[in-house]
Amino acid sequence: MKEEFSGVEKHLDKLSECLGRLEPLKERKLEDFLSNPDLRDIAERNLEVAAQCCVDIAGRVISLEQAEKPKDYYEPIIRIGEIGVLPMRFAERFAPIAGFRNILVHNYLEIDWKEVYGNLQKLSDVYEFMEYVKIWLRKRVGE
């Protein structure tokens, strides 16, 4: 792996680790999730880190592609859609993950646990994001 791409790889590894922690929680019933603070803590932290990884990966891709820098925290996902790393429709659907991360980080006193549970049910989007990034990475490393 070329050194300039190692940051993307490390973030993909961490993202995979978070998904491994989150996947079993997805199968839990909402009532079990809401009543168990340990499950909620695992979900909160790993969703936060997973979302941060996605935003950081997007930022690194933007830098490596020498694309226009995003103006806000929401924009990196959209930007890598614009440059063709993600399909644009997927980028638009997935970009709110950055806002969800901000909610977890900044509004931690008022977390809507049903929203957290809802995001657990959308882990397939994170896997899809990873696959698109891996495709881009294989193309770039092969150059």
How far apart CA 81 and CA 89 sit, in angstroms, is 8
pLDDT per residue over 55-103, tens digit each? 999 999 999 999 999 888 889 999 999 999 999 999 999 999 998 998 8
**Both structure tokens of 31:** 């009532």
Q: What is the pTM of this model?
A: 0.93
- Write out the residue range of the structural domain in which residue 60 sits: 3-141
pLDDT confidence tier of residue 141, bands split at 50, 70 and 90: confident
Domain tally, the chain: 1
**Distance set, CA 133 to CA 3, 37, 55, 91 (Å):** 17, 33, 12, 12
98-122 mean pLDDT: 92
Q: What is the CATH number of the domain that holds 90?
A: 1.20.120.580
